[in-house]
Amino acid sequence: IPFVEIVFVAGSMAMGTAQEDSDFDLIVGAKTGRIFTARAFCIFMFGLFGWRRRNYSRHSYEFVDSHYVRDKFCFSHFVTPEKYSLSGPHNEYWRKLYNSLIPIYGDKDLIQKFYNANADWVGSARYCEACLRSASHSLWRRATSNVLERILSGKLGDALEKLLKKIQIKKIEKSLKNEKLYKPRIIFNDSELEFHPHTKRIEEF
């Protein structure tokens, strides 16, 4: 997938609280100026293979059909290097989560930059030498994404990013009008895309 630089496992899988119906929450670090393109490719590719979580609950934040959640990937947070630090407010849930994040893809220096950006509010420093042993960054995978990145760079990529941004923001705004949300954390701009529409679980934690 082009323009994806780092990926962390988050949520219950990272914190060790996963249950039978849990999904795989991911935080994705995208290249500056290509966050909407990276998200579009993630949604398309993982959706094509049936691996992406789909929440079909449109009427209540308390109901989610587990068929669309279990073992699926949830792309709830995309950031560029300018926004590696999590937007506030920060609470104990977010501190525990960010202390538990597991890197599974990316360059060591960028992973460390992400850790450093969040160190102040998390309250501890993390170093990626040990945890990076599990991170995947194969030459084949990078070569594939680099081809797409070269094609989608420059004016062509700028035009595509602008188009995908327009389409996605339109869908996001429509979804916000139609869904019943519970104290949502929703951010969508050129540096960060965060989608936590129902934060009751976080509040209870």
How far apart are alpha carbons 181 and 24 in whole angstroms? 21
Which whole number is the average pLDDT over 151-179? Answer: 91
Q: Which long-range contacts (CB under 8 A, 24 or more apart) does 12-15 make?
A: 13/102, 14/97, 14/100, 14/101, 14/102, 15/96, 15/97, 15/100
CA 78 to chain centre: 4
How far apart are alpha carbons 111 and 127 in whole angstroms? 9
| Mean of all residue pLDDT scores within the chain | 83
How many percent of the chain have pLDDT more than 90?
46
Handedness of CA 25, 51, 136, 33 (dihedral sign): negative
Helix (H) or strand (E) holding 151: helix 139-151
- Segment among 9-18, 34-43, 76-85, 153-162 with least mean pLDDT: 9-18
